[in-house]
Amino acid sequence: MLYDITLSEKTQLQELETVIKKNIQGFILTGNALAEIRDSRLYRQEYHTFEDYCKYEWDMGKRYSNMLILSSDVVENLKQNGNQGSHFETQQNKMNANSADVNPSETKILPANERQARPLTRLNPERQVEAWLKVIEAADGGRISAALVARIVQAVQDKKTDKEIAKIKERIDTESIYTRSFKVGFQSFLDVVCEARDKDWKENSKKAVIKHIDELKKLIIED
């Protein structure tokens, strides 16, 4: 069932669609406009779902439209929270110096396209800032590539995982409800899993490992 929208909503829709038409390559404005259309359900007069609206109006799949929205959210987060510290200012000055047409007072180091912002969507807002500052440091005033961002994001995720695994190991080792042989065996298992992850699961099947862990969990629960 379709629904009529008010005159003011039609005007709002037209304005937002103009933004998308003019900035189909500018993912930040496009993502913000799509988010507003979705959240306000401005598509409802002609389409049943936001997914259909994106598909038939803009030839966008659900995954891509959602990624544009998430990526624009990343940039907004970095604008608000990411430009911190003297190191950031140093790297910004280096990037400004590498461009003859840049006004330093107006320049902020932010993802230049959706591909750069995409990996950051896998992190929470605080981790996004942490990862982006590491990206700026690694670029050292040079070009920031999507591959560099993806590599830094993976490192941040691995670091978080390592901390969580270390906590599990510590709990297992200090709690008296486990035998010594169980502690040694379980911690060895965690080490093997970490080693497989560090090798990007090239020598072991991540999917199969998860499946067997789930099966083991089920057997323990049912025992």
In a domain, 130, yes or no: no
Sign of CA dihedral 174, 178, 184, 185: negative
In a domain, 29, yes or no: yes
Query: Quick one: pLDDT at residue 87?
Result: 47
Burial class for 172, CB neighbours closer than 10 Å (0-12, 13-18, 19+):
middle
DSSP 91: H
Per-residue CA distances from 19 to 64, 89, 98, 102, 158 (Å): 17, 31, 31, 25, 38
In a domain, 198, yes or no: yes
In a domain, 89, yes or no: no
pTM score > 0.85 for this model? no
Closest CA to 81 of 104, 108, 107, 105: 108
Query: Quick one: pLDDT at residue 17?
Result: 86
In a domain, 111, yes or no: no
In a domain, 85, yes or no: no
Q: Which helix (H) or strand (E) holds 128?
A: helix 125-139
Structural domain count, the chain: 2
In a domain, 221, yes or no: yes
Query: Quick one: pLDDT at residue 223?
Result: 78
Query: Quick one: pLDDT at residue 23?
Result: 67
| Domain end call among 60, 80, 103 | 60
| Domain end call among 16, 38, 60 | 60
Identify the segments of the chain with pLDDT beneath 70.
Answer: 23-25, 83-108
Q: Are 190 and 165 in contact (CB under 8 A)?
A: yes
Q: Are 17 and 10 in contact (CB under 8 A)?
A: no
Residue 21: domain span: 7-60
